[in-house]
Structure 1
Amino acid sequence: CPSFLYQEYRDTSKQQEIEQRRQRDNLFPGVNAGTVVTDSGVMSPPVLQLQLRNSAQSLTLWQNLEAVQASGLLTQLPHKEIIMQEAMFELVTSEASYYKSLEILETHFLRNPVLVNTLSQSDMHFLFSNIEEVMKASERFLMDLEHRIEKSILISDVCDIVYYHAANHFNVFITYVINQAYQEKNYRRILEGNQQFRDTMAALENHPRVRGLSFTSFLILPFQRITRLKLLVQNILKKAEENSDREANAIKAHQELEKIVKECNEGVRKMGRTEELISIEKTLEFKSKSVPIISHSRWLLKKGELQLMGGPKSTRTMRSRKLYQPVYLFLFNNLLLVTKRSGDKFQVIDSCTRAMLRTEDLEDQGQQLANVFNLKLLENQDERQVNYMLKTSSMSDKLRWMCALTPNRRTRFMSTSTHQADSPQVQCIQSYTAQEPDELSTEMADILNLLERTDDGWMMGERLHDGERGWFPSRVAEEIQNKEVRAQNLREAFRIQQAYESGLHSGAKIDNRIIHLHNNKSF
């Protein structure tokens, strides 16, 4: 049983990824990707040597297991196979660590009689959702992984087990993750309104057993794990020999996990989007033609106040407060509303489908015309062409609005999907939670293709492992300097993409051989 919690493993392993990339970037720009240089200068596989914060313990490596060292395998196996064994072993040990954290959520919080007595039955359900089903699925999965390792210290594969469980048992993750939005809201509500719960929770969070981690860090574990599991399978897929059984199993496992992660994301988005549309519609007032806002195929991309330049050109000599008047834009994925704010209501003065929008950057012409761009509505609600000259509060805001209004507009750098030989990449050195709809929530160690950057501290990127795009502050990322590292990242992303597409074409059919193995408990 691991002596560390999953949250600690996760943070430390991500930090390790960043450190390895920095080492290859700065110290050894000529070193081939896929190797690290040890203190002695000897090349060795990039195994996960994770020193935990404030702890002398480190995560167990496959090659450090007594049985492995005694077997003589380390001298017999090629380097590539040792790296593969480590990748598969990390999936197993991190699952054990995750399960340990889940057990704390269950025994320390969910089953705590004092805490339970402070909550109604409905609040218990709001807080913990179907976590017990998630735990059962995770326990079965971990047992099968452990049986595989007990069977032989030379791990044959783990992705066949991942595939079986993802296809048959991991749907419980989707329910849990979709409920998470309600979880957070209700947790805040209960904390504010229930003194007894608040006091009990404070005492439980201060207990040495949880190592200073918050209750919410345990609640979000399932989604973090399913996402991380997908990346661990990707890591195995990158290292698998082409056309091997391991590759085939990794592709199928990745395909199943990708489906689950997508359903989780879509479920969360749908719930949030519908609520958002309802609240926006309540604030809108239509002067003439009313536009129905609520639709299952519509969601908000960006909203905010801009300054609209008004009046004839001769008025440009007047003071800036006369030159501009505020307008408030609501940009949806298929519709733009131009409104004027009046208290807490918004009067719609114009609308246009998003496909009929065009933007044009205007060169800075002094302070009054700084951060200005033209927005053209090719056909507005009155079937007329209209031009709006809009001013934003900053350079990055201007670029973000232009990218959102006209997404097909060419960005400064090319997208990964164009398979450029080389293009700028960044790695996130800290996590960031999106504050606006056009922003991207990033995790530490994420690799992104850089699409756009501004001089006032913002970047727009496309994450390599899932293709998600959005803006994030430059301070949370470091540019990847080593061309070989960038090239390897692109090659690996392309391989994952090909694997995903081949999985789509072949269809996710359950492998009877795997089910047969499972039924016979051959793991």
Structure 2
Amino acid sequence: MISEGSCDTEDWNVLYQEYRDTSKQQEIEQRRQRDGLPTAGSGVTAAPALQLQLRNSMHSLSLWQNLEAVKDSGLLKTLEPKETILQEAMFELVTSEASYYKSLELLETHFLKNPVLVNTLSQSDMHFLFSNIEDIMKASERFLMDLEHRIEESILISDVCDIVHFHAVNHFQVFISYVINQAYQEKNYRRILQENAIFRENISILENQPKVKGLSFTSFLILPFQRITRLKLLVQNILKKVEENSESEKTAILAHQELERIVKECNEGVRKMSRTEELISIEKTLEFKSKSVPVISHSRWLLKKGEVQQMSGPKSTRTMRSRKLYHPIYLFLFNNLLLITKRSSSGEKYQVLDSCSRSMLRTEDLEDQGQMLACVFVLKLLENQEDREVSYMLKTESISDKLRWIYTLTPNRRTRFLSTSTHQPDSAQVQCIQSYSSQEPDELSVEMADVLHILECTDDGWMLGERLHDGERGWFPIRVVERIKSAEVRAQNLKECQRIQQAQEGAQGSRAASRGRRPAKSPQYTPTWTDL
């Protein structure tokens, strides 16, 4: 087991859920301070949603520079400020891993191996809920042991990314299996809660015990995915701060690339499973009146679905006010196909009226033609299922819904703002202050402290954004973000983003150039533990 006395910091005793939320809140507060906005420390109370997320854990996280050994050493008098900042970034990776391991231990002792819970579940249900969590724990224990040993070697931390890279290559594959299983995990957890009254009662008792600090059982189950994604960001933060073209930069790039690969495999695995299930479910509801279109394909996934109103008849002011002008149709938009359908009277089936390849779609916004057409756009099928060009005049419930349909139907259409790929020096940016889980395929799940470029903004409360650290795009409510007002902060965010992109591209270019030659030597690292 990991010794809690190996590093003199209270963060060893903080559950990871608390640590993670507090760390993200501190990132937000630091940005607010630079923006000249009131912060939590200035006597202004945080928003209720934030208070709920932080679960009253507003204490400051321990800093490397506050360790007694560091203060006694006199290092703080000799180190440059940027070197101290780098030490803090590496130290945060270590302390957060310790906190994460503590939460895993609680998941094991309080839930996984609790006889009260185990005796109410079948062996298959135990596997559905906990999957390979014991392998995850073993990987974390090894990783933390090596990180602790590095800190014990010297109070001035030499590097941690070499350790991250070693473990990511050799031991972090277990994360992929666990995360991919999460779709089944969530589904079966809901099923067990519904079917097993004894389990439902026992899990409620366990969740309400003081040691879990009011956290839910599911908040422990999702820890591995949260950790592997957060670990990538922590390494990314170190990469921003190391000296360019140094050995530390090389190890940080290698660690970041390996973590990015793992996170990508996790995301793709989850998406593949959910997309296949979704396609099967949709195909069962479709009825083709003429030419049948195969829906299920390994290269197809749903982008957006929903009801819109098709307008027909003469376009006079009088008829446009008449409800007879409109009749509902239901759109299924996939990454390479559009199906235009009509919902059956039972609401369970959809009759396919028309179809078209997504690449053959064009849209026209009619917003500038008067208030009456504010929520109306024209959808043109250049070549429909009958090889004809047809147009549909469609009306949505809101302006934001219209823009979301237009953007998803024809993604190459210019947005109001420019993306990070244009490298504009002062693009509009926001920071997430409240986590949001996507409700529709075209939405983006955002976490506290995420920084995003604004690509589109509607008057009724929605934004289309591109997250800086991974380039993912999607819509989210304006209420969960704050605009970054400081041009200096925006410029710094963009500069750091571009540096990471350039470092990654440079490393990839070097690998491509060395193909056919002896591969570059990876950083050598010897673990401090041995398997028994």
- Alignment TM-score, normalising by the size of structure 1: 0.92
Which SS does the other structure have where 2:343 is aligned? Answer: strand
Partner of 1:386: 390
Partner of 2:336: 334
Q: 1:271 to 1:288 in 2, by over 3 A?
A: same
Amino acid at match of 2:20: R
Give 3-state SS (helix, strand or coil) of 1:389's partner.
Answer: strand
Deviation at 1:369, TM superposition (A): 3.3
Equivalent residues of 1:320, 1:368 under 8 A apart: no
Shift of 1:500: 2.5
Cα distance in 1, alignment partners of residues 493 and 175 from structure 2: 29
1:444 alignment partner in structure 2: 448
Matches within 5 A, 1:40-79: 54=56, 58-79=60-81
Q: Distance in 2 between matches of 1:489 and 1:502?
A: 20
Alignment partners' CA distance in 2, 1:458 and 1:516: 47
Aligned partner of 1:320 among 319, 322, 328: 322
Partner in structure 2 of residue 155 of structure 1 = 157
* Partner of residue 309 from structure 1, selected from 311, 323, 344: 311
* Cα distance in structure 1, aligned partners of 2:82 and 2:315: 69
CA distance in 2, matches of 1:181, 1:4: 28
CA distance in 2, matches of 1:184, 1:201: 15
Which one-letter code corresponds to 1:19 in the other structure? E
Specify the alignment match of 1:19 in structure 2: 29
User: Which deviates more, 320-329 or 19-28?
Assistant: 19-28
The alpha carbon displacement at 1:433 in A equals 0.3
Give yes or no for contact 1:339–1:347 (8 Å, CA) kept in 2.
yes
Of residues 107, 112, 116, the one that matches 1:105 is 107
How big is each residue's C-alpha offset from its partner over 1:116-160, in whole Å with a ceiling of 9 and x where there is no partner? Answer: 000000000000000000110111110010110111111000000
Question: How far apart are 1:507 and its partner, in Å?
Answer: 4.4
The amino acid across from 1:173 in the alignment is F
CA deviations 1:55-112 (Å, max 9, x no partner) are 6954221111111111111111111111100100000000000000000000110000
Q: Does 1:249 align with 2:258?
A: no
- In structure 2, the residue matched to 1:43 is none
* Residue 471 (1) aligns with residue 475 (2): yes
What is the alpha-carbon distance in structure 1 between the residues aligned to residue 278 and residue 442 of structure 2? Answer: 15
Q: Which residue, 166, 169, 185 being the options, matches 1:167?
A: 169
Counterpart-to-counterpart distance in 2, 1:53 and 1:286: 52
Q: Indicate if the aligned counterparts of 1:309 and 1:325 stay in contact, CA closer than 8 A.
A: yes
- Asked if 1:409 corresponds to 2:397, the answer is no
Deviation at 1:318, TM superposition (A): 6.5
Whole-Å separation in 2 of the counterparts to 1:364 and 1:193: 55
TM-superposed CA distance for 1:461, in Å, is: 0.1
- Are the equivalent residues in 2 in contact too, given 1:315–1:323 (CA < 8 A)? no
Measured against aligned partners, the alpha-carbon deviations of 1:450-479 in whole angstroms (never above 9, x if no partner) come to: 000000000000000000000000000010
CA distance in 1, matches of 2:17, 2:189: 20
C-alpha separation between the residues in 1 aligned to 2:318 and 2:377? 16
Provide the C-alpha distance between the structure 2 equivalents of 1:241 and 1:143, rounded to a whole number of angstroms: 27
- State the 1:383 CA deviation: 1.0
The Cα of 1:314 is off from its aligned counterpart by 6.4
Structure-to-structure mapping, 1:205-220, within 5 angstroms: 205-220=207-222
Q: Is the 8 A contact 1:167 1:510 kept in 2?
A: no
After the TM superposition, which residues 74-89 of structure 1 pair with which residues of structure 2 at under 5 Å, given as runs?
Answer: 74-89=76-91
- Compute the displacement of 1:192 (Å): 1.1
Displacement after TM superposition at 1:503 (Å): 3.5
Partner of residue 33, structure 1: none
Instruction: Tell me, yes or no, if structure 1 residue 278 matches structure 2 residue 280.
Output: yes
1:193 maps to 2:189: no
Distance 1:482 1:24, change over 3 A: same
How much does 1:412 deviate? 0.0
SS of match in other structure, 2:182: helix
CA distance in 2, matches of 1:155, 1:215: 35
TM-aligned CA deviation for residue 519 of structure 1:
8.0
SS at match of 1:444: coil
- 1:293/1:56 CA distance change after superposition, 3 Å: closer
CA distance in 2, matches of 1:341, 1:89: 57
Instruction: Give the partner amino acid of 2:153.
Output: K
- Number of residues of Structure 1 aligned to a counterpart in Structure 2: 501
Q: Secondary structure at the match of 1:213?
A: coil
**1:497 Cα deviation after fit:** 1.4
Determine which of 361, 367, 387 is the counterpart of 2:365: 361
Q: Separation in 2 of the partners of 1:251 and 1:322?
A: 61
Question: Residues 140 and 510 from structure 1, CA distance in 2 versus in 1: closer, same or farther, beyond 3 angstroms?
Answer: farther
Alpha-carbon separation, structure 2, partners of 1:371 and 1:54: 43
Other-structure match for 1:348: 352
State the secondary structure of the residue aligned to 2:287. Answer: strand
User: Is the contact made by 1:230 and 1:254 (CA closer than 8 Å) also made in structure 2?
Assistant: yes
| Cα distance in 2, alignment partners of residues 510 and 472 from structure 1 | 43
Distance 2:389 2:196 in 1: 56
Contact 2:23/2:61, CA 8 A, preserved across alignment:
no
* One-letter amino acid of the counterpart of residue 467, structure 2: R
Q: Aligned partner of 1:295: which letter?
A: S
Per-residue deviation, 1:502: 2.9
| Alpha-carbon spacing, 1:427–1:328, altered in 2? closer, same or farther (3 Å) | same
Q: Judging changes above 3 Å, is the alpha-carbon distance between structure 1 residues 4 and 268 closer, same or farther for their aligned structure 2 residues?
A: same
Which residue does 1:295 correspond to in 2?
297
Change (3 A) 1:404 1:463: same
Unaligned runs of 5+ in 2: 5-11, 43-53, 513-517
- Between the aligned partners of 1:168 and 1:347, the Cα distance in structure 2 is 51
